[in-house]
Amino acid sequence: MTKHDGALRYVHYERHRWAHCYSPRAGSWSFRDLYGRLYGAEYRQPEGQGAEQLARLQRCGTFVSWFVREPCARFMSVYARFAERDKRAEQYPMSPAMRAANADGRLFSSPEVFAARAFELFPRDKHIAPQGGLGAELADLIAPIERSDEAWTRLRGHVAGLPLLVPHTNAGPPQRAVVPRSVQEFYADDIALWAKVSSDFETVRERV
């Protein structure tokens, strides 16, 4: 695995006995920035993060959370972010495979082009890989990121010393462009996961 691959990633807030799983464009910077606010130091992802390590933290009393974003909205957010930077000729961290796919400068010319090349040439890139199936399903609290305010209230019931409001970094308006059918097909399992998470979260809310 390289730093560009889709893999289980989480911020471990050791003093708070809490770990939060994240994916790019699904609240990742919000929780990495929160680490800096709480601990006064930049978060640096350690090597060796994985499901086994996370389960070990959990067995030792660490509360684990995970917010899942609707996959099509996440994909369109990835596209919009890269396309915006490309239009301004600004550098944005890319995997070697993504950079190679943009050799002709047309990778971000449309969501359809981006999707076609992404799913063929760099499907395991951390910005493209599905959120599910990496090990975050171990979490004690799993919530749709679209309900993060309510989920944060629940989380604060398990983790002491957190800010009153859920952190929001790089939060933008919903992407309203038409989602290519290939995106819906590629993320079929991830969409089903997000739907189940949303349904389960609502069921718990109704019980409270």
What pLDDT does residue 48 have?
78
Phi, psi of 18 (to 5 degrees): -145, 140
Q: Is residue 14 part of a domain?
A: yes
Total domain count, the chain: 1
List, for residues 16-48, the tens digit of each pLDDT value: 999 999 999 998 989 999 999 999 999 988 887
Q: Is residue 47 part of a domain?
A: yes
Residue 176 has pLDDT above 90, yes or no: no
pLDDT (mean) for 2-6: 87
User: What band does 170 get if pLDDT is binned at 50, 70 and 90?
Assistant: low
Nearest-CA neighbor of 167 among 147, 146, 150, 152? 152
What pLDDT does residue 172 have?
53
Q: Is residue 62 part of a domain?
A: yes
E strands of 26-97, at which residues? 63-68
What pLDDT does residue 174 have?
52
What would the two tokens of residue 195 be?
């739907």
Q: Is residue 203 part of a domain?
A: yes
Determine how many CB atoms are found less than 10 A away from the CB of residue 4: 18
Range of the domain at 156: 10-71+134-173+190-207
List, for residues 46-98, the tens digit of each pLDDT value: 887 899 999 999 999 999 999 999 999 999 999 999 998 767 766 677 899 99
Question: 98 Cβ partners below 8 Å, 6+ apart?
Answer: 4, 107, 118, 121, 122, 125, 127
Q: Is residue 80 part of a domain?
A: no
Q: Is residue 166 part of a domain?
A: yes
Q: Is residue 96 part of a domain?
A: no
The pTM for the full model equals 0.90
pLDDT (mean) for 125-129: 97
Residue 169 has pLDDT above 80, yes or no: no
> CA-CA distance, 118 to 110, in Å (whole number)?
12
Task: Check: CB of residue 187 under 8 Å from CB of residue 75.
Answer: yes
> CA-CA distance, 107 to 115, in Å (whole number)?
9
Q: Is residue 141 part of a domain?
A: yes
